[in-house]
Amino acid sequence: MQSTYYPFGEPHAPTLIGWLQIIGVIIILLLALIFLTRLKDGRNATGHWSHHFADLQMSSREFYDQINEIITAMNEQHIKTKYITYSEGGFITSNRTYLRVSRGDILFDICAAPFGNGFFVSWWQADRDFFKRFLLAIPLLGKVFERAFYPNTYYRIDTQDMFQTSIHTILLSAIDALVIAKGLRGLTELERKPARGKLQPRAVTL
C-alpha cells in the first residue's frame, strides 16, 4: 500500500497546548472587538458640556482663536493646544475641526460650529492613554487593573477636576466676550454649569 507523502510532516490532531493557543487567540480577538466597540459608542468620554446660540453666525476659527489667546495669556506650560479633525458620522461624511486642549493624559476637544441658523459650542473630556483604555475595557479584569495601576486617588481626581474647571472657565470667558461683542443674552447660572450629573460616579481608592 502506497503511503501518502506530507511535505510538512504528517498532520496531527491539536494537542492541549494547541487548543489553549487557539482559545487564547479567540479571546484576544473578542477583547479587541469589545474594546473597539466601546471606543465607537463614546464611552471614552468622561465629561461633556454644550450650549446653542440662536441666530448667531460666526466662524469656528474665530472662536478657537479667542480660546488660544486666553490660554496663551495664562502662561501655563503644561497645557498644549492643537487642531484635530473628526468625521461627522463615518468614512464618507464631512470632517469637523476641533480645538484639542491637553494636559498630560487628560484632554478636552472643543467644538464650535454653525447649527441651523445658530451656532453651538461644546467640550468633551477624555483620556488619551490608549494602553490604559485597553486594559480597563477588558471585562472583569479591567476593574483589577484599575485598582492596581490606575486608582482614583484624591490627588488624581482633584487634578482632573481642576483642569476641567480651568478649561470650562476659559470657554465661558470666550463666550462672555462673544455675547458682549454680538449683543446677545448672556448665559444663565444654570447654563454655565457643566453637566456633571451625566457623568459616571467615580469610586476613590484610599
What is the domain partition of the chain in residue ranges? Answer: 13-43, 46-195
Average the pLDDT over 4-18 and give the result: 61
| pLDDT value for 109 | 93
| pLDDT value for 108 | 92
Residue-wise pLDDT for 72-101, tens only, equals 998 888 889 999 888 877 667 788 899 999
Nearby residues of 57 by Cβ (< 8 Å), 6 or more positions away: 114, 117, 119
The dihedral over CA atoms of 190, 98, 126, 28, expressed in degrees to the nearest 10, equals: 140
How many Cβ atoms sit within 10 Å of the Cβ of residue 167?
Answer: 25
Residue-wise pLDDT for 52-75, tens only, equals 888 778 888 989 999 999 999 988
pLDDT higher than 80, residue 133: no
Report helix, strand or coil for 112: strand
